[in-house]
Structures are given as C-alpha cells and as structure tokens.
C-alpha cells in the first residue's frame, strides 16, 4: 500500500478514489484543472441515475454492483432517520423508474417454439435479453406491459403518462425498478468537504493542468508521492494520447421540483395530486433515440430533463436545436 498518493482529477471518480485512500490511512494530494463545484466539471452534469448505460463490458456489472452496495445504504439511512447524519442528508434517494420500450426486447414463448428469437447485439441465444444487473432483488425489477404498469399504478400512484397515451406513442412495454438517485452536486460537495476535513492536500482552484504523464511523475516525485491515480477522465485522451477514448456530449435542463408545472392529466387524473415522482426514460422514437435519449429524473430539489448522447461532440456551450417529441415527455 502506498503511503502518499497524487490523485489527478476532481470529478466523482477522483474524489471517491481519494476518499478511499484517505480512509485507508494514505496521505492524499489532490490536483485538478477545475474545482468539483465548477459547472465545467463533467460530474456536475451527471443526471445521477444508477443504471449501467451504453456499456457492454461485463466488468461494468461488477463496478455497478459495488456502487449500488454503497448508495442503497446511504438512501436507507436517510429514510430511516433524516437526522442520522446531517452531512449525508439529501445525497441519495430511491426513486421508482420506468423505462419505456416499443418492443418486448426479449424472447417470448412463441420465439422458443419457432426458434425465431434474435438476441440483442453482443448476446448469444443462450443468454437472457435482460442485463445482469436486473437480477438484483434490491431493485425490485419487473418487465411489464404498459397495461400491467397501469394496473400497478393504481397502488403506486406514480406521476407517469396514462396507459392510453403511452400506447398512442407506440410504447407497449416497460422496465420498472427502484434505483438510487444521487444528487450529484451535493455529493461532490460532501466528498470534497470530507477530504478537506481529513487533512488531504487539496488544490483544485488554480486550474492546474498536466500536459503529459511525465509531468505528473515529476510533480509526484517533488511531493514525495509514491503513487499516482489518473482520474482525469477524457483528459487522459490528450495526456496519454489514447485515441480509443471517445467522449459523448450530454445535455440536461434543470427545473424546480416543487414548482415544476404538471399537466392536468397528472395533477387531476386518477393518481391524484399527491402522486409520487418517478424517473421516466426511453431511447426509442417518438420521444427518444440512441443519440437523443429522453429522460426525466427527480433529484433533490430539482427535476433534470434530457438529453443527448452525441459521441465526439466537444462543443461546451448550449446551442439552439429542436428535438421532436421531447416536449411531450417533459410535461409529465
């Protein structure tokens, strides 16, 4: 085990790694080109939804499981006793999630009878269509028709579109599960404060930027660090000249969770004004696509609405665009 580590990067990965080292009695020096609280920090733009996304690497499930193991107890502690630990309040909550689909996405009885099932990309005919993470009982995962979702919603009272509207849009099936949602801005602040309280050497305000791995090594030597943790994310593409790293641009809009206007069909509909906020997602037309996924995530005091998944799009500012179908889901 190293005795002193230079951690480069102040996003969620950099801060969490630095905390793990501090908790194992390793001295930490944290350096980054911007503060975790700066709007330009990529982790500030994260939606906060726990769900493996756009990654077929089997290691993802193990990493996601480890994250779930940490987030769920935090949400449970807050729910059981809001004053249990003041510093953890508002960081994580479990929110019902609905992922909408036009097609079943997996084998039916008829598929097995006539041997006509075609698996998704990267799957063999011997594997299930559902990803491995859906088997975790803590998520209470269900694969439903929209009729079944509607029946259950008489009890759940979720603020979701009615069955008729989902069918009109072509959505006939849904995944229903209960993932943790991280209030990303609050979590970054929490981790940064814990690092400072633990005595870590934190300097993320000076715009410190490394242009090469050699520069990192030289500074680590000057600081008497015997370990370097490269948590620069996409910055590693330039620092290490790694052309295999590909970024994807995402966009989120933030609305006040309490004052966000709701349509009459939800406010005065069969589920009542006291319905429960829910995550709503789809990557299929007409409301979404692979590159323009549509999602609504209640988080902390906000509802974040998105989005986009535009690979190698590096433009840092918002540009005017019209996304058909997006407005149809935002109002829900």
Give 77 or 320, the one with higher predicted confidence: 77
> Which domains can be identified in the chain, with CATH numbers?
4-48+184-239 (3.40.50.720), 96-181+247-330 (3.30.9)
Lowest mean pLDDT among 73-82, 103-112, 185-194, 212-221: 103-112
Per-residue confidence (pLDDT) for residue 169, from 0 to 100:
96
Examine the pLDDT at 316 and tell me if it is beyond 80. no
Mean pLDDT of 27-54: 87
Mean pLDDT over all residues of the chain? Answer: 82
CA distance 206 to 35: 9
Give 211 or 327, the one with higher predicted confidence: 211
Per-residue confidence (pLDDT) for residue 79, from 0 to 100:
67
Q: pTM of the full predicted structure?
A: 0.82
pLDDT, one tens digit per residue, over 136-180 is 999 999 999 999 999 999 888 899 999 999 999 999 999 999 999
Per-residue confidence (pLDDT) for residue 258, from 0 to 100:
80
CA distance 184 to 44: 6
Could you give the 3-state DSSP secondary structure of residue 79? helix
Partnered with residue 150 across adjacent β-strands are: none
Q: What percent of the chain has pLDDT over 70?
A: 79
* Residue in 37, 5, 38 with CA at minimum distance from that of residue 20: 5
Examine the pLDDT at 327 and tell me if it is beyond 50. no
Per-residue confidence (pLDDT) for residue 274, from 0 to 100:
58
DSSP assigned state of 106:
S
Mean pLDDT of 44-57: 85
Examine the pLDDT at 296 and tell me if it is beyond 80. yes
Examine the pLDDT at 35 and tell me if it is beyond 90. no
What would the two tokens of residue 216 be? 């990192």
Give 87 or 171, the one with higher predicted confidence: 171
pLDDT, one tens digit per residue, over 237-250 is 888 888 888 888 88
Per-residue confidence (pLDDT) for residue 115, from 0 to 100:
57
CA distance 176 to 173: 10
Per-residue confidence (pLDDT) for residue 91, from 0 to 100:
93
Contact in structure between 96 and 279 (CB atoms under 8 Å)? yes
Q: Collect all residues with Cβ–Cβ distance below 8 Å to 38 and sequence separation of at least 6.
A: 44
């Amino acid at each position: 085990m190293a005795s002193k580590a230079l951690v480069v990067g102040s996003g969620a990965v950099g801060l969490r790694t630095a905390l793990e080292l501090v908790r194992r009695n390793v001295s930490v020096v944290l350096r980054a080109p911007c503060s975790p609280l700066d709007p330009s920090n990529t982790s500030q733009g994260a939606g906060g939804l726990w769900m493996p996304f756009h990654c077929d690497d089997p290691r993802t499930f193990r990493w996601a499981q480890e994250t779930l193991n940490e987030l769920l107890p935090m949400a449970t502690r807050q729910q059981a006793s809001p004053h249990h630990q003041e510093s953890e309040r508002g960081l994580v909550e479990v929110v019902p999630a609905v992922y909408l689909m036009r097609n079943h996405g997996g084998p039916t009885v008829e598929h097995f009878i006539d041997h006509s099932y075609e698996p998704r990309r990267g799957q063999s005919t011997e594997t299930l269509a559902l990803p491995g993470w859906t088997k975790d009982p803590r998520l209470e995962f269900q694969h439903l028709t929209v009729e079944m979702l509607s029946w259950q919603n008489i009890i759940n009272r979720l603020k979701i579109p009615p069955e008729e509207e989902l069918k009109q849009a072509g959505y006939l099936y849904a995944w229903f599960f209960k993932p943790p949602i991280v209030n990303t801005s609050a979590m970054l602040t929490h981790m940064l404060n814990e690092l400072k309280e633990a005595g870590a050497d934190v300097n993320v305000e000076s715009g410190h930027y490394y242009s090469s791995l050699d520069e990192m090594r030289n500074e680590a030597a000057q600081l008497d660090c015997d370990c370097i943790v490269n948590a620069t994310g996409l910055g590693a593409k330039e620092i290490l000249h790694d052309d295999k790293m590909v970024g994807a641009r995402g966009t989120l809009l933030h609305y006040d969770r309490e004052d966000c206007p709701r349509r009459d069909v939800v406010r005065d509909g069969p589920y009542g004004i006291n319905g429960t906020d829910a995550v709503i997602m789809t990557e299929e037309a007409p409301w979404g696509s692979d590159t323009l996924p549509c999602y609504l995530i209640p988080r902390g005091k906000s509802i974040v609405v998105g989005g986009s998944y535009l690979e190698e799009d590096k433009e840092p500012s918002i540009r005017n665009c019209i996304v058909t179908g997006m407005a149809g889901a935002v109002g829900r």
